[in-house]
Amino acid sequence: MKPAPFAYLRPTTLEEALAALAGEQGAKVLAGGQSLVPLLSMRLAAPSMLVDVNGLPDLDHVHCDPSGVRIGALARHAHVLGSVEAAEVQPLLALALSHVAHPTIRNRGTTVGSIVHADAAAEMPMVLRLLEGSVDVMSVRGRRTIPAAELFAGPLESTLAHDELAVEAFFPALPAGAGVAFQEIARRHGDYALVGVAALVETDGDEVTRARVGFVSVSDVPVVVDVTHALDAPATAALAELDPAEDIHATAAYRAHLVSVLTPRVVAAATDHARSRAREVSPA
């Protein structure tokens, strides 16, 4: 199908972009177009105007420092995945991004666009939530930071106002003594996950002090469950808080089965990762 008619604007300054979003209630941001264009073509979205942000300057950065990784709105998935520094500061980024779609889509789709698109079947919203990151947004009213815990309102729904442009996502660095792991089951590598699971485990010596698990494609928003007090049965603890969804791709029972298989695996792998990092810092 062809999209419904819309006006098209390609601003070259941030001010122009924000003014356009403020002035047109039905306007939508166009970033990589890898989610929005299919929605337009199927007429599942019919914005009155597309504000194409690809001409804006200084938004394609991947900045790393000891506190974490800052990803600009125009940084493509492939750019973030290719950053050796980002993978060192926060290894879960590369682990998860290698499962996001296929190379051609990663060359165009943006990591920030994926986050604000808020698809619970997408890897990066869950990763941001698990790591307790945030997104900075701008509008004509100024700039504000939205913590990941307040970002995902429902299926394909973020808490951004209609006139807000997400300019940067922040992923905190992996602290010393912490480890991460990610696994997913998809029909083909690069397809949306039937279920994806990530773990963030913090240790102090041999003791696990905190363990959290995030789930992709299980509920209609990204979900994170704290399993610190259930390390011998993390899947049971997770399933007590999850209500796996049924759709054309998988039954609820199959999703629950995948959760029960993947959860202990990623918790164990993240624990091993934490311990091996701790050994690197203080060799015996």
Q: Which residues bind ligand FAD (CB under 6 A)?
A: 28-36, 38, 73, 100-101, 105, 109-110, 112-114, 116-117, 122-124, 160, 165-166, 191-192
- Dist. CA 184–CA 197, nearest whole Å: 6
Nearer to ligand FAD, 105 or 233 (CB): 105
Nearer to ligand FAD, 70 or 117 (CB): 117
Smallest gap from Cβ 143 to ligand FAD, in A, equals: 13
Nearer to ligand FAD, 31 or 146 (CB): 31
Nearer to ligand FAD, 112 or 235 (CB): 112
Nearer to ligand FAD, 2 or 189 (CB): 189
Nearer to ligand FAD, 35 or 271 (CB): 35
- Dist. CA 119–CA 222, nearest whole Å: 8
- Dist. CA 238–CA 241, nearest whole Å: 5
Smallest gap from Cβ 60 to ligand FAD, in A, equals: 12
Closest C-alpha to 238, from 255, 217, 213? 213
Smallest gap from Cβ 150 to ligand FAD, in A, equals: 16
Smallest gap from Cβ 70 to ligand FAD, in A, equals: 14
Smallest gap from Cβ 124 to ligand FAD, in A, equals: 6
CB 211 within 8 A of CB 202: yes
Closest C-alpha to 109, from 56, 36, 48? 36
β-strand pairing of 157-158 with 152-154: antiparallel
Nearer to ligand FAD, 44 or 149 (CB): 44
Residue nearest to ligand FAD (CB): 109
Smallest gap from Cβ 193 to ligand FAD, in A, equals: 7
Smallest gap from Cβ 229 to ligand FAD, in A, equals: 31
